[in-house]
Amino acid sequence: MKQKRRQDVFLGKPRLVAVIDIGSTAIRLVVIEVLADGTYQRVDRANRPVRLGRDVFMTRVIKRDTILQAITILSGFVELMKGWQVGEEDIFVIATSAIREARNRDTFIDRVLMKTGLKVRVVEGVEENHLTYIAVQHSVDGMYGSFSKANSLILEVGGGSIEVMVLKRGKMAATHSLKMGTIRIEQQMAPTVSQSGGEFPFEEYIREQFRVTMDGIDAETSIGRLRYFVMVGGDARIAAHNVGTSQGEAYWIIERNDFVNFVAQLQRWSVEEIVRSLGITYHEAENLQPALTVYKIFLEETNAEIIIVPNVSIREGVLLRYALGHDNNLNPQFASQVVASAQSLGKKYHSDEKHSQHVTGLALQLFDQLVAEHGLGKRERLYLEVAGILHDIGYFINPSGHHKHGQYIVQHSEIFGLSKNDIQIISNIVRYHRTTKPSNNHFEYSSLARDERLIVMKLSSILRVADALDRNHNQQISSVVCTIVDGDLILRVPFRGDLAVERYGLSRKGSLFEEIFGYRIVLEQE
């Protein structure tokens, strides 16, 4: 299948790229040819069932036999890739929830490397969301205008987790990686089904498991008012093949009622009947009922009449993100989604939006004018923007010590497109936006790498200056112009009133900047 790609994506000589996804229920391979005109097409694929999720979600450990089974599968994939002459640098291997949660994940990753030469990258839940979003965005690129004006929900039901993304007018409003996939549902249901001795309310059981989760997501984002419901994954594609209408090669459309009726029909069939009726493998059939039931339960929480099923998976996200550099946090469109997610988090905790946005704007003005002094780039600028938006989020818990409370909230939150390490850096910037200086006695700070600690110091010092310029929370300083004269950083602001409060704020919060950059801060009026 040939996929059209935007012109700003990698253009070069044709090459073969392989992506392997080590999931909870299967290990999947796709080999893709990237053409010189910037398009790509799948040339081969393979899918082998594996018991990784059944081991890990029950015992937290991958059993010896399962490790051997996985290595055998991966060794076979290596031989297949050799046949296609895929270069080592063009092989990308990811692992999701099962490996992520296994206590012996490091042992598994090492055995795979030693036996197959494959380097496994374990993706976090929030990164899994990101990769899925990239793939979906690319697949429905032709509908971007419609998506940007409407509210949408993107949902992927896997064996070990459920990835949820809610977009408001095309902007990321919330992301969740829920530890409740089809294998977990099956394992939790098994004892109850056994005790029931016969008929069991399958759908009601799943619905009850999601009641609190659904209420929480709806309270946060009002998912009832959605226009587009996007289902991602192999189970969704099976439904689309049977009751959907193809929209070219990129995606299918399913009418709401057609999908609901299809799920109801499946629930009356045994796994064997599903295999015979749909012409799919037993492995595909055994998780189809619970997966589509979860999609149905989420769908019923919305008013969406149309379901979109993109012809993509997380593997296309890996291809676009890592192999082709299609989307990263230097990309303006992606960065805007990160910022939208941070703004949504700030609203959730009732942060002072006007003050936070104003301080963020001033901080970015300082950052841009002082590039020659701090030497940081677009990635760090994004860190500063997110930290500025969230710097006072800790007031939700208590004004006293709000910098520490803010660090805790950020550290334990999901922000779309940011890894745990990114969030750790940002949470430290939030902590040090007040007067306390970074210290190696603080574990969250000292655990960062040396270059990351420098980033925290530089960005928190800039954020302090910006925060001091709006100490009254009245946004009276609209802009700032920086000039360095004889060892002083002159901050010129277009305000004719009294700046005594701001000067006092700079006297308290400017010392870290002076210590790091060596300039005394002087505030002047234009």
- Looking at residue 43, its pLDDT comes to 92
At 413-459, the pLDDT tens digits run 989 888 889 999 999 999 999 988 898 889 999 999 999 999 999 99
- Looking at residue 288, its pLDDT comes to 93
pTM for the model stands at 0.80
Mean pLDDT of the chain: 88
- In order, the DSSP letters of 133-187 are HHHHHHHTGGGHHHHTTS-EEEEEE-SS-EEEEEEETTEEEEEEEES--HHHHHH
Q: How many C-beta atoms surround the C-beta of residue 384 within 10 A?
A: 25
Q: Is 254 exposed, middle or buried (0-12, 13-18, 19+ CB in 10 A)?
A: buried
Confidence of residue 490 (pLDDT cuts 50, 70, 90): very high
Nearest partner of 280 among 231, 235, 232, judged by Cα = 235
Confidence of residue 329 (pLDDT cuts 50, 70, 90): low
Q: Is residue 309 within 8 Å of residue 254, measured between CB atoms?
A: yes
pLDDT of 11 strictly over 70: no
At 230-250, the pLDDT tens digits run 999 999 999 999 999 998 888
Tell me how far CA of residue 127 lies from CA of 122, 228, 294, 425, 437, in angstroms.
Answer: 10, 22, 22, 16, 31
